[in-house]
Amino acid sequence: MFTPLKLGTNHMLGTDAYVPLTTNNFEVRIYNMDGSSPTEFSDLLTLSTAEIGEISEEQDSIVVHYGNGLIKFPSKVDYADVEWTLNCYCEPNVLEALREWRKQVYDPATERMGLPSEYMRNVYFLRYDGQGNVRDAIRCPGTWIKGLSNGSSNQEGGQLLQVRTTFVISKAIYLTKSDLNG
């Protein structure tokens, strides 16, 4: 009934179709809510990114019982929060940029909660091939940061300070090639 599609790896030799997508060719781009322009610190935060967590979604199910059986139907989709790690520099000041965005969500000095139009962003997660071509793109409208870990310090040695924050993802839209070129 079933036979292998291919035997061995010969179909991968000398073709550009099976070039691996690697984990180190990526960017996180932060735009304003209408997506027309990058936010004030977008380039700084993109170029300081050390690691971004996995964007994952899970769909709940509705279970309907009938007689001795049950049927499952799809329900709401939930997007997990994403950890974002950034390298810190004295200048440009990565922490200052993150704190400004964080203050748009909640300002501890005034105890004021921001409005969604002030703190929510269109965040793009982009993966590139070795030639710099976009091979995977996810747009997450309504993304914001829910906290800030200011990085730990110790007396043992000179290592790069890294800070962490968490993206709250409301929605993930998987972009196609026509979305990127259009």
For every residue of 122-134, DSSP letters joined together read EEEEEEE-TTS-E
Residues 6+ apart with CB under 8 A from 163: 85, 86, 88, 94, 95, 98, 148, 149, 150, 151
Q: Widest CA span of the chain, in angstroms?
A: 69
C-alpha 30, offset from chain centre: 10
Q: From first to last of the 182 residues of the chain, give the pLDDT tens digit.
A: 888 888 888 888 888 888 888 899 999 999 988 878 888 889 999 999 999 999 999 999 999 999 999 999 999 999 999 999 999 988 889 999 999 999 999 999 999 999 999 999 999 999 999 889 999 999 999 999 999 999 888 888 788 899 999 999 999 999 998 888 76
> The whole model's pTM is what?
0.88
